[in-house]
């Protein structure tokens, strides 16, 4: 429990180190992806190929991916590094000290990241779905990248080859609370280079990745939801039977 709490705390500290742009509303994550096994499998592949280089999921084992329809052989052939074993946890080989020196902070464990980002403005999945699609080129940053949702983020845009490179267009306007103060207002993105995916394909793949991150935070949620439907159906049937029995019992009582 101490390790899980430490992981959650690290995720909160790093990801919430900068406040999200209040003027930017979060896009809605397509919730149906969490029930799509093909989407979860694609998300797992994206996670291993693009996230696991710096981040880790210390509370998730590779063999748990059998719950989303992958066989042990598929996991070994497609998702494991040569030195990993299928029963091991998803760890990164990146040294924590090097990561802190390069990015300014140790990349958080992502096992619970989708659950840790839930807020009044949207679910953790909504946050991640918007965040991963809001990177733009910023040469003033050490990595050359910035993010609308997480200003001055230390993380580079690891999916830039898929999305392409974009610049963000801002205009200055007076602050409503202090007219003497100027604030930057986001107006849109400008494409600099094309990616290997179309915008629609990229958004779909990001949705798959976020679906996997959400599933990873609670792998039993699909079984829990199915069990919940069964319990509700049983209660409805039991209520009907009890109602008819009660009516039968009291029919001759005047």
103-140 pLDDT tens trace:
888 899 999 999 888 766 678 999 999 999 999 999 99
Residue 254 pLDDT? 61
Q: Three-class SS of residue 170?
A: strand
Dihedral sign from CA coordinates of 119, 125, 126, 127 = positive
pLDDT: which is higher, 200 or 24:
200
pLDDT: which is higher, 210 or 21:
210
Residue 139 backbone dihedrals phi, psi, to 5 degrees: -70, -10
Residue 8 pLDDT? 38
Residue 219: burial class (beta carbons within 10 Å; 0-12, 13-18, 19+): middle
| Distance (Å, whole) CA 22 – CA 185 | 11
Most confident of 68-77, 164-173, 179-188, 199-208: 199-208
The average pLDDT across 82-87 equals: 83
pLDDT: which is higher, 212 or 175:
212
Give percent above pLDDT 70 in the chain. 89
The average pLDDT across 204-216 equals: 97
pLDDT of residue 244 exceeding 60, the answer is yes
Lowest mean pLDDT among 16-20, 60-64, 234-238, 240-244: 16-20
The average pLDDT across 170-176 equals: 83
> For the chain, what is the mean pLDDT?
86
Is the separation of the CB atoms in 184 and 159 below 8 Å? no
- Bridge partners of residue 135, in order along the sequence: 147
| Distance (Å, whole) CA 199 – CA 101 | 33
Cα separations in angstroms, 213 against 116, 141, 175:
11, 27, 37
The average pLDDT across 236-243 equals: 93
Is the separation of the CB atoms in 168 and 136 below 8 Å? yes
Residue 207 pLDDT? 98
pLDDT of residue 18 exceeding 70, the answer is no
């Amino acid at each position: 429990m101490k390790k899980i709490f430490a992981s959650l705390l690290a995720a909160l500290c790093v990801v919430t180190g900068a406040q999200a742009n209040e003027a930017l509303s979060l896009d809605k994550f397509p919730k149906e992806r969490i029930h799509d096994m093909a989407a979860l499998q694609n998300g797992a592949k994206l996670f291993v190929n693009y996230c696991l280089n710096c981040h880790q999921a210390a509370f998730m084992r590779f063999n748990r991916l059998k719950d989303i329809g992958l066989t042990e052989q598929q996991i070994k052939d497609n998702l494991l590094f040569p030195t990993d074993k299928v029963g091991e946890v998803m760890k990164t080989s990146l040294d924590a000290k090097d990561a802190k020196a390069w990015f300014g902070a140790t990349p958080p464990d992502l096992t619970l990241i989708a659950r840790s980002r839930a807020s009044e403005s949207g679910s953790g999945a909504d946050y991640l779905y918007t965040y991963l699609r809001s990177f733009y080129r910023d040469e003033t940053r050490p990595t050359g990248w910035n993010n609308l949702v997480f200003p001055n983020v230390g993380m580079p845009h690891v999916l830039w080859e898929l999305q392409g490179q974009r610049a963000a267009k801002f205009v200055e306007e007076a602050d409503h609370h202090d007219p003497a103060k100027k604030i930057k207002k986001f107006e849109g993105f400008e494409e600099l280079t094309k990616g290997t995916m179309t915008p629609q394909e990229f958004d779909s793949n990001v949705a798959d990745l976020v679906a996997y991150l959400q599933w990873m935070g609670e792998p039993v949620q699909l079984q829990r939801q199915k069990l919940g439907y069964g319990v509700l159906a049983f209660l409805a049937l039991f209520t009907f039977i009890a109602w008819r029995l009660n009516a039968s019992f009291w029919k001759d009582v005047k």
